[in-house]
Amino acid sequence: MKTVFSGIQPTGKVHLGNLLGAINNWVSLSNEESKNYFCVVDLHSLTTHPDPSKMQENIQETIKVLVSSGINQKNSKIYIQSNVPEHVQLSWILSNFCQIGELQRMTQFKEKSDQLGSHAGILTYPILMAADILIHKANEVPVGDDQTQHLELTRNIVERFNNAYTEYFPLPEKTSGKAGARLMSLRHPDNKMSKSNDDLNGTIYFDDSKDEIIKKFKSSVTDSENEIKFDIENKKGISNLIDIYSTLHDMSHEDVEIKFKNSSYGEFKIEVGETVVSYLEPLREKYESLSDGDISSLIRDHLDDVKDSAKKTMDEVSAIVGV
């Protein structure tokens, strides 16, 4: 049976990029015959020095979105990274199989050290990610495209560890959806949609109102032509809108082009906006119906199994390395 692991940082509101790039795939995988671990990685988020007084609220909110998105909890465990100290223990062991140079070459290290100053947490961030994935010996990791390099590094670490000791860890594979793996900002289509975009109108948050969503799509940046055509090099804005529409309607980019052959950009923007509104509506309704108590009891129910799995790996790894 395959084991799936993925994570999300509790740094601000969940946005459409997180949902289409990652969480929707978590939902699909949770309906397959697999063991799934979905983790709110609060320790990773410390690299951004978040406000401690907001941390618990952000964690609760993130878990509520995961539950609302429809993750099948029968074979999925949702948990908080810091509740399972084995993540950090394993990370230390794995750090001995990772070169400083390869950490410094990570695109996200370069980007984040410009924004946050280059502290060691940003440098070693991908090693903790590798530990997250390997603590349950996961072999499948559903993430957006921005995590590709981190997954490659995890695979390198696995190969080196297995060569040094014994074939213990599986080689994890990254999985992404057909579309939506890299959603761009609606205002700055050169940049990915993110929680921390300077221009908040470029990001659709899960709890934006209908009016806000339509307004953001209406003012999305496109180009001076009027052809609805997927061309990621020359028409980034319109390609991003096609990508969103095709993901939510499970259509190919070509079929979207054909459907809107005679439409204006203005009409298409509204169609995409309304599609997103209909997609988010049930999610938000479910979200509103969940109480903090529901989330706390879910976390309690899931934690024992997660801890058992992490402890088993850590005991075995400790024996392998002789500590």
Q: Binding to ligand TYM by residue 174, rule CB under 6 A?
A: no
Single residue of 9, 69, 89, 309 touching ligand TYM by CB under 6 A = 9
Task: Name the catalytic one among 192, 216, 235, 236.
Answer: 192
144 lines the binding site for ligand TYM (CB under 6 A): yes
Which member of 3, 4, 12, 22 binds ligand TYM (CB under 6 A)?
Answer: 22
Q: Binding of ligand TYM at residue 147 (CB under 6 A)?
A: yes
Active site residue 192: yes
Answer yes or no: 64 catalytic: no
Give yes or no: 195 in active site. yes
Report the residue from 143, 242, 276, 299 that binds ligand TYM according to the rule CB under 6 A. 143
Interface segment toward ligand TYM; rule CB under 6 A; list 136-144, 255-263, 272-280, 282-290: 136-144
By beta-carbon proximity to ligand TYM, the closer residue of 13 and 259 is 13
Q: How far is the CB of 219 from ligand TYM (least distance, A)?
A: 18
HEC profile for the chain?
A: CEEEEEEECCCCCCEHHHHHHHHHHHHHHHCCCEEEEEEECHHHHHHHCCCHHHHHHHHHHHHHHHHHCCCCCCCEEEEEHHHCCHHHHHHHHHHCCCCHHHHHCCHHHHHHHHHHCCCHHHHHHHHHHHHHHHCCCCCEEECCHHHHHHHHHHHHHHHHHHHHCCCCCCCCEEECCCCCCCCECCCCCCCECCCCCCCHHHCCECCCCHHHHHHHHHCCCCCCCCCCCCECCCEHHHHHHHHHHHHHHCCCHHHHHHHCCCCCHHHHHHHHHHHHHHHHHHHHHHHHHCCHHHHHHHHHHHHHHHHHHHHHHHHHHHHHHCC
Residue least distant from ligand TYM (Cβ): 21
In the complex, least distance from residue 217 CB atom to ligand TYM, rounded to whole angstroms? 16
* Residues making contact with ligand TYM (CB under 6 A): 5-9, 17-18, 21-22, 41, 44, 129, 132-133, 141, 143-144, 146-147, 181-183, 192-194
Catalytic (active-site) positions:
112, 192, 195
